[in-house]
Amino acid sequence: MQTSMTTTPATPPSRPGGRLPYKWSVLSNTTLGMLMATVNASIVIISLPAIFSSIHLNPLAPENVSYLLWMLMGYMLVTAVLVVTLGRLGDLYGRVSIYSAGFAVFTGASVALALTPFDSQAGALWLIGWRLVQGVGGAMLMANSTAIITDAFPARQRGTALGVNQVAGLAGTFIGLMAGGLLSAWHWEAIFWFSAVIGLVGTWWAYRNLHETAARRPDLGIDWWGNLTFGVGLTALLAAITYGIQPYDGHVEGWSNPMVIAGLAGGAVLLVVFCFVETRVRHPMFHLGLFRIQAFWAGNAAALLNAIARGGLQFMLIIWLQGIWLPLHGYNFEDTPLWAGIYLLPLTLGFLIAGPVSGYLSDRYGAKLLATGGLFIMAVTFLGMLEIPVVFSYPVFALLLLFNGIGSGLFTAPNTTAVMNSVPSDQRGVASGIRATFQNSGMVLSIGVFFSLLVAGLSQSLPGALNSGLSAQGVPAHAVTAVSSVPPVGLMFAAFLGGNPLSSLLDSAGVLHQLPPATVTTLTSRTFLPHLLSVPFHDGLVVVFILAAVLAAAGAVVSLFRGDLYIHEEMAER
């Protein structure tokens, strides 16, 4: 029978010298860690135009699409795969130790990224490699920060503390958009120096102020077979999704690629084997018995559905703004990354309004009504997105973003608190890792599914729109055919990266300098391609937002099954 982790004597109410109570020192440092980890994810998304331009990588080249996708998704893939293992290592060898080392790893990788010595594809590989290392550091932070907060705060204050922490997590994604837009306009390497400076501060602070409040249990050992089957299985599955949305063998997507099929099937089989292994080993890394706890399984299932519903939302909204809406409203392509971040601020504001309040209320009333209501509000806003045109009125769009953020804020903190309150103290690290795995895997899956649906919608109508639009401008038939046959993913990424690809495509077709100057001016203007993209893009968005609404509604239904307020310490005393 497994021995429960013991805790040290009650944490003193204040630090020596009259400083803040230890729990507030924990909250401030872990909030900085969560902020840094999430800022890093979005700061790169918004800065990709400057990065690709600076290392001279052509987004229209089919072989370069994978570099872009791995820059976007590699960080999330690594964190999804490693958070459970690193959470378990925190239980065994000290959560603060693993967490503090995560700051150091993240900071070192940020410095390496800022010092990128190569150009073109070699530069892209350098960036991707160190982004993966950053993901290791981010996983060390994410896996243990929630458990450290849970250790430091009494049960009836955890909702408030985790609410602040989760607000920082989501706010970081939008701070990253703003910071990335500003810094990349100056120099793309500045975005990584920004992360390095924050990381240095956090590393010093963590090693100086944090200490273990839960006993280490190295006697439990490491579940090597569980780690191997889980890590390889989830990596194969998520990597296959990443390659599935890339063009393959003349197809607009790669789902028919034998390697993708093998990755999906092999990854699924290994995860089934992992579940079998975990029921046989003495000290499993992934305690399947935790899923007998109603609040735990319902909270994680709702978190997974929420992550899939909204994980790809940010990516879709950025493409929508940068590739279509902003150019059609007079913004130059090179200015769209910054303004996309600004126009998405209502989403952050909604979360900032609802997050701390919902965390505070969940300490008193539980998570069921708050989390369920939040997911229901999100589902309604996704349906609202269906009713606005691609070239929308911004006040309506901003209102939908605001309520989507409010719904997300109402769900996140109470749900996280309910999951962490439901487990015994010696399982908090692995429980935090499981929660983060569901969330991060859902994000990767969401981007894969949403983008695949978007590309499928574009492939049906975009070639016809390009054909009619270019033909109307007098472009020769052979050039029209060449441009219309370009994979939709390439055109969307080119627009997402802040450029108009028609100039280079017409030049490659040999007709750019044969057309009248007035025609060239029209074709390469900031409005011509966005006008052609708008209707096909909307076809894809309809499917995306319907699926998001269905997933959010399903998450609300699952959330209803979590039961009443459940705190493991209080149940154990009865």
In this structure, are residues 298 and 246 in contact, taking their beta carbons and an 8 Å threshold? no
- The phi, psi pair for 20, rounded to 5°, reads -60, 150
- pLDDT tens digits along 503-533: 878 888 888 888 898 988 888 888 888 888 8
- pLDDT tens digits along 408-445: 889 988 888 888 888 887 777 777 778 877 887 888 88
Rounded to whole angstroms, what are the CA distances from 362 to 155, 349, 567? Answer: 11, 20, 12
Q: List the structure tokens of 192.
A: 């990584």
Share of the chain above pLDDT 90, in %: 18
* pLDDT over 90 (residue 315): no
Cα 376 from Cα 234, distance rounded (Å): 30
In this structure, are residues 538 and 387 in contact, taking their beta carbons and an 8 Å threshold? no
Cα 501 from Cα 513, distance rounded (Å): 15
Q: What is the mean pLDDT of residues 386-409?
A: 92
Mean pLDDT check: name the lowest of 40-49, 86-95, 283-292, 450-459: 40-49
Output the pLDDT for position 565. 63
Cα end-to-end distance, the chain, whole Å? 20
Determine whether 509 is exposed, middle or buried from the number of CB atoms within 10 Å of its CB (0-12, 13-18, 19+): middle
Output the pLDDT for position 403. 96
- pLDDT tens digits along 201-238: 989 988 888 887 766 666 666 778 888 888 888 888 87
Q: What is the DSSP letter of 11?
A: P
- Compute the 3-state secondary structure of the chain and give helix, strand, coil in percent, each to the nearest 5: 80, 0, 20
Output the pLDDT for position 566. 60
Mean pLDDT check: name the lowest of 77-81, 173-177, 279-283, 447-451: 173-177
In this structure, which amino acid lies at residue 551?
Answer: L
* pLDDT over 80 (residue 496): no
Cα 212 from Cα 219, distance rounded (Å): 17
* pLDDT over 70 (residue 270): yes
Output the pLDDT for position 62. 64
Mean confidence (pLDDT) of the chain: 82
Q: What is the mean pLDDT of residues 535-544?
A: 82
* pLDDT over 50 (residue 335): yes
Output the pLDDT for position 14. 44
Residue that wins the pLDDT comparison between 315 and 321: 321
Mean pLDDT check: name the lowest of 108-112, 190-194, 438-442: 438-442
Per-position b or e across 239-264, b if 16+ CB within 10 A of its CB: bbbbbbbbbbeeebbbbebeebeebb
Cα 275 from Cα 285, distance rounded (Å): 11
Q: Which residue has the tokens 């780690």?
A: 227
Q: How many residues does the chain have?
A: 574
Mean pLDDT check: name the lowest of 74-78, 377-381, 433-437: 433-437
Output the pLDDT for position 372. 92
